[in-house]
């Protein structure tokens, strides 16, 4: 695992996966600006550890493609709408980061050059090398793939040391801890165990891709200020899913 020079983080470069629901705050939908600002501050604090950051955002706070397929829309059309929602979230997060004096770029897998940069691997790598925060939007640009899979894919493409999966719970459980008080919390798992036990903190495609590329996934709660920095320092309550 790469060390980050003078940084007190064990990671040199990471992808942070932030769900659309996390951007909605306690409201469950829409964009909650105080929550966006808090997450932006967390990202900036993490960057100050010497870590270069990519962020993959979801769109479930605005629209989730699989939820509208029963309303007369095909799955590809519904997924395209969900990808557009991620672009809106990315632009809001980019603006919040830049208000803190840190350069950021939104790059979309869906081409919309009048709105943001189109994702190109080499250009994204240059942005990261120049210490910009890159916010990846538009999913993979293809239907039938989740933003979790996007996060693992971008981590592989950007040669990242880990994917930080920001959720509303403090790790991976054997069942939903809100519904099952006896749910077991794991400190660590292998990718194969996560697949075999059908632990749905990420979809099977994302876990399989992470296993193939030996990319650790760190699952943690984003609800408290400083959560991302705490993970990078190894001080957060989390679950590590790795080889």
Q: What is the pLDDT of residue 6?
A: 44
Report the C-alpha gap between 185 and 83 in whole angstroms: 32
In this predicted model, what pLDDT tens digit does every residue of 32-43 receive, in sequence order? 999 999 999 999
Find where tokens 């809001």 sit. 92
204-208 long-range Cβ contacts below 8 angstroms, 24+ apart: 205/145, 205/146, 205/149, 206/146, 206/148, 206/149, 206/151, 206/152, 207/241
Q: Is the pLDDT of residue 21 over 70?
A: yes
Residue 197 lies in a domain: yes
CATH number at residue 39: 3.40.1160.10
Q: Are 15 and 45 in contact (CB under 8 A)?
A: no
How many domains does the structure of the chain reveal?
Answer: 1
Residue 139 lies in a domain: yes
Which candidate, 19, 21, 44, 45, places its Cα nearest to that of 32? 21
Q: What is the pLDDT of residue 168?
A: 85
Give me the residues paired with residue 108 across strands. 118, 137
Phi-psi region of 222 (alpha: psi -120 to 50; beta: other; left: phi over 0): alpha
Report the C-alpha gap between 20 and 86 in whole angstroms: 8
Lowest mean pLDDT across 98-107, 142-151, 197-206: 197-206
Which candidate, 61, 55, 63, 67, places its Cα nearest to that of 24? 61
Q: What is the mean pLDDT of residues 24-34?
A: 86
Residue 6 lies in a domain: no
pLDDT band at 220 (very low <50, low <70, confident <90, very high): very high
Q: The domain containing residue 102 runs over which residues?
A: 13-242
Q: What is the pLDDT of residue 72?
A: 75
Residue 7 lies in a domain: no
pLDDT band at 49 (very low <50, low <70, confident <90, very high): very high
Within a 13 Å sphere around the CA of 13, how many CA atoms are in the beta-carbon half? 18
Find where tokens 């469950």 sit. 28
Q: What is the pLDDT of residue 3?
A: 42
Report the C-alpha gap between 18 and 60 in whole angstroms: 11
Residue 166 lies in a domain: yes
Q: Are 219 and 206 in contact (CB under 8 A)?
A: no
Q: pTM to 2 decimals?
A: 0.91
Report the C-alpha gap between 142 and 47 in whole angstroms: 30
Give me the residues paired with residue 195 across strands. none
Q: Is the pLDDT of residue 120 over 50?
A: yes
């Amino acid at each position: 695992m790469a060390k980050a020079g003078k940084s007190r983080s064990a990671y040199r470069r990471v992808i942070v996966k932030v769900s659309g629901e996390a951007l909605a705050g306690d409201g469950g939908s829409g964009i909650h600006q105080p929550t966006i600002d808090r997450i932006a501050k967390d990202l900036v604090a993490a960057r100050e550890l010497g870590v270069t950051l990519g962020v993959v955002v979801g769109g479930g706070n605005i629209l989730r493609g699989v939820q509208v397929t029963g309303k007369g829309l095909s799955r590809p059309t519904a997924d395209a709408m969900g990808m557009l929602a991620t672009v809106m979230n990315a632009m809001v997060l980019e603006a919040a980061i830049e208000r803190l004096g840190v350069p950021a770029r939104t790059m979309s897998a869906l081409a919309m050059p009048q709105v943001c940069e189109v994702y190109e691997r080499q250009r994204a790598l240059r942005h990261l090398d120049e210490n910009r925060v890159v916010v990846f939007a538009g999913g993979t640009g293809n239907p039938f793939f989740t933003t979790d899979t996007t996060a693992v894919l971008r981590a592989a493409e950007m040669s990242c040391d880990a994917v930080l999966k920001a959720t509303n719970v403090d790790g991976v459980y054997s069942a939903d801890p809100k519904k099952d008080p006896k749910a077991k919390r794991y400190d660590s798992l292998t990718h194969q165990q996560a697949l075999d036990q059908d632990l749905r903190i990420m979809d099977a495609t994302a876990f399989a891709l992470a296993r193939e590329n030996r990319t650790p996934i760190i699952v943690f709660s984003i609800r408290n200020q400083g959560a991302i920095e705490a993970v990078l320092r190894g001080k957060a309550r989390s679950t590590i899913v790795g080889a």
